[in-house]
Amino acid sequence: MISKNKVRKLLQEAAHANDTHITLTGEAVPFGCPECLDDIELRISDMTRSRNRCPSGSAARTHYSGVLHQLRKDRRDASRIYERDYVTEEDIMEDVRKRGDEWCAYVDDKLTKKEKENNPKKYKGKKVGSVQRTKSGKIRMKARACYKSKKKANNAMAAAMMG
């Protein structure tokens, strides 16, 4: 009979060999897939909660901070792989809409420093760069660029997502 430790060791070796991620449930998934990203996010939130319960300057808090640092690095690496392998052209085209007789590339409407300075009461407590929302809670979108052809609007959307 194989012990739990032996099974764990085998799973970890397989994960490193095939570039897979072992979730908290013990399931092996490809590194960078949506399930992997969700699992890493869950681990980060759990670690943050555990770290915040520790007193400042304690060895335990330092340990948790180190683990959080590694988890955040893993999340960055996984999100790069996700964007490379899982984001499709349809995801880009969702933010290209027809407005009248032209196609417009829409992006998230983020709060600018100028908007916050011009209306401090409205944006009190909001950070510059945060996503603005409508009254119903949806993310507010604004037209970034409008073109006569859908292809040019898609290219503008792709450029906005890249940089």
| pLDDT tens-place string over residues 105-157 | 887 777 788 888 888 888 888 888 777 777 777 777 777 788 888 888 888 77
* First-residue to last-residue Cα distance in the chain: 54
Does residue 106 sit in the same domain as residue 81?
no
User: In the beta sheet, which residues pair with residue 102?
Assistant: 99
Does residue 47 sit in the same domain as residue 109?
no
pLDDT of residue 90: 46
Residue 130 domain boundaries = 89-162
Does residue 114 sit in the same domain as residue 147?
yes
Does residue 114 sit in the same domain as residue 65?
no
Cβ burial, residue 25 (10 Å; 0-12/13-18/19+): exposed
For residue 160, CA distances in Å to 18, 39, 109, 111, 152 come to 33, 28, 13, 17, 12
Asked if 76 and 41 count as a contact pair (C-beta separation under 8 A), the reply is no
Radius of gyration of the chain (CA): 22
